């Protein structure tokens, strides 16, 4: 199977302007009601900026672990893709370790939680979830303030080093399930060009998004969806709903 970087390259070649990720924020809080739609080109631009920041500012490459403690969100998707683009291992909280425990022994923590960021033993990227955020005044000293700093990085990513196919791409928690780069994109029998509705854990959303893109498809991701989603799914022309029961 292709790597995440190869999947992103494939949808850029196929049709860079077609929507590939549509995100709805249904969670309680200031971002509730936000909707954002990203083409492959725009998604790739975010990935490239984040990838350049990871390489140039945060010393991330093969063998480095990037722990992502974020809700299911479009920003979590591009930070995971950027980490994979530069050959890092993405670590997600799992049943064997809490987010707090992970923060105590990370190479790099990517989170929207300033308190968790302040407790991190490693380098920190503090993410702002609102789509028009420009800074995080509550950013701990030394943290990379994504909203303020990411825009200054280049739109073209020249990867310095590649991960081997058997290197770990994804791990759940400390000592948890590991998936190699050659296996992190699942094979799904969804037919060509599916438009897939996703919700649930960040791990599941990332895997299913990669699977949909590998089939030249697109995804609709909802954060904390509730109630009847049928009107939204119809409006988004969803062909496969995986959001139920997640």
pLDDT in tens, 28-46: 999 999 999 999 999 999 9
What pLDDT was estimated at residue 116?
Answer: 92
110 closest CA partner among 54, 69, 58: 69
pLDDT tens digits, one per residue of 7-23: 999 999 999 999 999 99
For domain 4-241, the question of CATH label 3.40.50.12780 is answered with: yes
116 closest CA partner among 84, 93, 86: 93
Residue 245 has pLDDT above 60, yes or no: no
Residue ranges of domains in the chain: 4-241
205 closest CA partner among 222, 189, 217: 222
3-state secondary structure the chain: CCCHHHHHHHHHHHCCCCEEEEEEECCCCCCCCCEEEEEHHHHHHHHHHHHHHHHHCCCCCCCCEEEEECCCCHHHHHHHHHHHHCCCEEEECECCECHHHHHCCCCEEEECCHHHHHHCCCEEEECCCCCCCCCCCCCCCCCEEHHHHHHHCCCCCCCCCCCCCCCEEEEECCCCCEEEHHHCCCCCCCCCCCEEEECCCHHHHHHHHHHHHHCCCEEEEEECCCCCCHHHHHHCCCCEECCCCC
What pLDDT was estimated at residue 176?
Answer: 78
What pLDDT was estimated at residue 194?
Answer: 98
pTM score, whole prediction: 0.96
Residue 246 has pLDDT above 60, yes or no: no
pLDDT tens digits, one per residue of 154-177: 999 999 999 998 999 999 877 778
């Amino acid at each position: 199977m292709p790597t995440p970087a190869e999947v992103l390259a494939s949808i850029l070649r196929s049709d860079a302007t077609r929507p590939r990720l549509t995100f709805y924020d249904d969670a309680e809080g200031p971002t509730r009601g936000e909707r954002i739609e990203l083409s492959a080109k725009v998604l790739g631009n975010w990935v490239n900026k984040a990838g350049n920041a990871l390489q140039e500012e945060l010393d991330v490459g093969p063998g480095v672990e990037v722990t992502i403690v974020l809700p299911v969100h479009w920003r979590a998707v591009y930070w995971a893709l950027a980490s994979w683009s530069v050959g890092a291992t993405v670590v997600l909280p799992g049943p064997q370790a809490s987010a707090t425990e992970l923060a105590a022994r990370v190479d790099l923590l990517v989170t929207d939680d300033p308190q968790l960021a302040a407790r991190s033993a490693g380098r920190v990227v503090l993410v702002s979830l609102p789509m028009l955020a420009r800074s995080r005044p509550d950013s701990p000293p030394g943290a990379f303030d994504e909203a303020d700093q990411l825009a200054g990085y280049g739109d073209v990513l020249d990867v310095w080093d590649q991960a081997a196919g058997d290197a770990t791409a994804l791990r759940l928690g400390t000592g948890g399930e590991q998936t190699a780069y050659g296996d992190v994109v699942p094979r799904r029998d969804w037919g060509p060009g599916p438009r897939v509705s996703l919700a649930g854990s960040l791990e599941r959303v990332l895997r299913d998004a990669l699977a949909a893109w590998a089939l030249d498809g697109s995804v609709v991701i909802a954060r904390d969806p509730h109630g009847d989603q049928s009107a939204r799914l119809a409006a988004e022309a969803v062909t496969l709903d995986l959001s139920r029961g997640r």
